[in-house]
Amino acid sequence: MDGSIATPEETLPAVSLRVQTLKNRPDFQRASRAPRVAMPGFILQMRKRAAGEADGIRVGFTCSKKVGNAVARNRAKRRLREVARLTLPHEGRDGMDYVLVGRSDATASLPFDKLQSDFTKALGILHGKQHSGSKK
């Protein structure tokens, strides 16, 4: 097989799990008070939205000036966006907001496969905390 035909496991669902981007400051502020996991290349925050809020998976990205100049911040955010694009449709949960915070020097320099595996691990930790009750 030459890899030109996608198997059903490789195809993404049509529309149901489309990831939306957070853009409003209040959404980021609410996520900053939610549970978080620090990984070498980023910090992941996860917030369960209230019943009246929008459906679907939402994700936001932020990098402070500690990450570096504008070029470094943009590179870090591009890498975080790609990690989220590849992982959240499969691993993300409906009704959740996720915020990825870039870390200085690490986000832009870690190998991409390490960032991706750390993101999957961080999602597992946060999803486990959500079900376990009062842990934060």
| Tens-digit pLDDT profile for residues 56-81 | 899 999 999 999 999 999 999 999 99
The residue segments making up the domain with residue 69 are 19-129
If one counts the domains in the chain, the total is 1
- CATH code for position 38: 3.30.230.10
**Does 14 fall in a domain?**
no
Residue found under tokens 């986000």: 107
> 92-119: per-residue pLDDT in tens?
888 899 999 999 888 988 999 999 999 9
pLDDT digits (tens, 9 = 90+) for 15-65: 445 788 999 999 999 999 999 999 999 999 999 988 877 788 999 999 999
Confidence label for 136 from pLDDT (cuts 50, 70 and 90): very low
Cβ atoms 59, 22 nearer than 8 A: yes
Task: Give the full edge-to-edge strand order of the sheet including 19-21.
Answer: 19-21, 57-62, 96-102, 42-48, 36-38
Of 65, 64, 101, 56, the closest CA to residue 83 belongs to 101
